[in-house]
Structure 1
Amino acid sequence: MNLQLDLLEKAAREYRLAHLLLFHGGSALYQREVALRLAQVLNCISSTIDRPCQECSPCRKILSGNHPDISWLKPLKTTIGIDQVLAWQEKVYLKHYEGIFKVSIVEQADLLTLPAANSLLKVIEEPPERTVIILCSENAEGILPTIQSRAQLVYFPDLTEETWLTSLETEDEKTASVAFNLSGKNQNLATEILQHGVELLQDWLNKFRKAVIEKDFLALFALFPLEKNQALLYLQVLAVQAQEGIINGMIHPFEFLAIGKAIDLLRQQANPRLVIEVLALELFQQGGAYSD
């Protein structure tokens, strides 16, 4: 991985970096760090050979998130919609304020809706001068093939639990380790679990399992109210546990497929309460999830 990043930085120092990069795999935090470093390399005004210097005004502004030529596009809740992309496009086509290069970073690009992805494609096909667009995603397969074909793909391997824990700089390594295991060793999901609260998540999952095993529809009422981002987090962890259960021969593959369908519906802006209730009813019919 170091060699790959060294080559990217070398290209950036020589102003030969591809105008579209697609980061995929690994940790979203690490992808973000690399994107910011490339933005620094492209805009550092130090005379030193080994840019970035981390000391000049552009370097400091980029690191603090205050550089006017560095823009971000992030999901609102569960998707990146076309309205967001259209607003982002206006910023992309504005003239440079003070930087040598404009850098636009799209986080969780695999959450672009189809209309939003098609709108993004128009910018990619006719990029403004001295502009680099960096798409960050967990899964490259979730990116429109026509976008993939125009990008330089950069793969980030998964971090080990030890490396991930070190990057967090947390004193509560025990809780962080639990989050890592709940996530199925997915660093991005583990970080979300930590931010949300491990105990809160485990309590919700236990109540859901109990309601499904006992086929108690009324018990589901205790799981609400629930925001979409919370519901998506819970369902992603349920999917991890279902996948592990299938491997161990304890869970029927139907349950994993049902949870996957629920996740897709949530990402399409379906009502979280309705999605959870329908999922529970489907699992009722299959004899109850997590049953012996």
Structure 2
Amino acid sequence: MNLPLVLLEKAAREEHLTHLLLFHGGSAPYRRDVALRIAQILNCTSPLPEGPCEACTTCHKISSGNHPDVLWLKPLKTTIGIEQVLAWQEKVYLKHYEGTYKISIIEQADGLTLPAANALLKVIEEPPERSVIILSAGNVEGILPTIQSRAQLIYFPDPSEDVWLKGLEENNQQEAQLAFELSDHNQSLATAILETGVTALQEWMEKFCQAVSNRDFLTLNSLFPLDKNQAGVYLQALAVKIQKGIQKGSNHPFELLAIGKANDALRQQVNPRLIIEVLALELFQQGGTLCD
């Protein structure tokens, strides 16, 4: 356990924890496990000097996701919308049912839309008593600066490749290894690739590269429909491929810059189809070869 987590648990045991935590880096399952442990520390009915007992009814309810004072918020599809945040807001201000603290765990918090993030900010600025909000995000840059500035940031380093693969036992290990290679050993991206589908990613990138190489705008139609999450994962994987190509001398830096601009537009909630089409046109005009 690294030092920040030791201090985090100590603050939780002593009830000196800030009301807003931002977990970032590492893997989503590990961030989730730490969030649950913090919820247990704050609510355990038979705590031990080193942490929660993990045996009482409260600890069991929290670990199983059934405690009424531990609220979960995650994307319904690709983003967390304002309707979800407003529904959560009603619950977070209710009196505690069983626990000492009410814990809200917001997963994939970098998927908050701008209206949803602003609604969340209102709660952060006037938090309910004895409550802790934990934001979990793979990409801290996707969190509004006004939210970041109010949070205590906890960084999770990436686990080793063996530990990461072991945590994906439900996945085909061959696919997991391929996702790891496609992401250039970026575990967050590799996990996203697995969730999106390795085969789907490879087919999409091949079609996009062919469309660019042939300057064939009509071929782009086969790449859609495409939601924001898929587009983000595909563009990141494409950027990894181009970066490797630049190092080998088979690709040009302007191709990577164009993909970077597309990713920036995606973070600003621009329509994914429009982003891909504009990217393709820019590469057509500048003579991009991409995957050749």
Instruction: Tell me the C-alpha RMSD between the 2 structures.
Output: 2.3
| 8 A contact 1:78–1:269 mirrored in 2 | no
| 8 A contact 2:242–2:291 mirrored in 1 | no
What CA distance in whole angstroms lies between the structure 2 residues aligned with 1:238 and 1:139? 18
Q: Report the equivalent of 2:37.
A: 37
Q: Report the equivalent of 1:20.
A: 20
Length, aligned pairs only: 292
| Post-superposition offset of 1:200 | 2.3
What CA distance in whole angstroms lies between the structure 1 residues aligned with 2:121 and 2:31? 21
What CA distance in whole angstroms lies between the structure 1 residues aligned with 2:108 and 2:118? 16
Q: Report the equivalent of 2:138.
A: 138
Larger deviation, residues 22-31 vs 106-115 = 106-115
Quick one: which amino acid aligns to residue 218 of structure 1? L
Deviation by residue 1:224-249 (Cα, 9 ceiling, x = unmatched): 33344333322221122223333444
What CA distance in whole angstroms lies between the structure 1 residues aligned with 2:160 and 2:270? 35
Larger deviation, residues 242-251 vs 19-28 = 242-251
Counterpart check, 1:273 vs 2:273: yes
Q: Report the equivalent of 2:217.
A: 217
Counterpart check, 1:98 vs 2:98: yes
Deviation by residue 1:123-155 (Cα, 9 ceiling, x = unmatched): 222211110111112233433333223222111
| Post-superposition offset of 1:96 | 0.6
What CA distance in whole angstroms lies between the structure 1 residues aligned with 2:117 and 2:10? 30
What CA distance in whole angstroms lies between the structure 2 residues aligned with 1:230 and 1:140? 19
Query: What's the secondary structure of 2:119's corresponding residue?
Result: helix
Q: Report the equivalent of 1:63.
A: 63
Mind listing any 5+ residue stretches in structure 1 that lack a counterpart? none
| 8 A contact 2:142–2:267 mirrored in 1 | no
What CA distance in whole angstroms lies between the structure 2 residues aligned with 1:19 and 1:111? 21
Q: Report the equivalent of 2:245.
A: 245
| 8 A contact 1:215–1:288 mirrored in 2 | no
| Post-superposition offset of 1:168 | 1.4
Q: Report the equivalent of 1:86.
A: 86
Counterpart check, 1:5 vs 2:20: no
Q: Do the aligned partners of residues 243 and 130 (structure 1) sit closer, same or farther apart at CA in structure 2, a change above 3 Å counting?
A: same
| Post-superposition offset of 1:29 | 1.7
What CA distance in whole angstroms lies between the structure 2 residues aligned with 1:121 and 1:170? 36
Q: Do the aligned partners of residues 84 and 10 (structure 1) sit closer, same or farther apart at CA in structure 2, a change above 3 Å counting?
A: same
Q: Report the equivalent of 2:284.
A: 284
What CA distance in whole angstroms lies between the structure 1 residues aligned with 2:285 and 2:98? 61
| 8 A contact 2:42–2:100 mirrored in 1 | yes
Q: Give me the TM-score of the superposition, normalised by structure 1.
A: 0.89
Quick one: which amino acid aligns to residue 94 of structure 1? L
| 8 A contact 1:214–1:288 mirrored in 2 | no
What CA distance in whole angstroms lies between the structure 1 residues aligned with 2:19 and 2:51? 19
Query: What's the secondary structure of 2:167's corresponding residue?
Result: helix
What CA distance in whole angstroms lies between the structure 1 residues aligned with 2:227 and 2:114? 23
Q: Give me the TM-score of the superposition, normalised by structure 2.
A: 0.89
Larger deviation, residues 139-148 vs 83-92 = 139-148
Deviation by residue 1:97-138 (Cα, 9 ceiling, x = unmatched): 111110111222233333333332222222111101111122
Query: What's the secondary structure of 1:155's corresponding residue?
Result: strand
| Post-superposition offset of 1:44 | 1.1
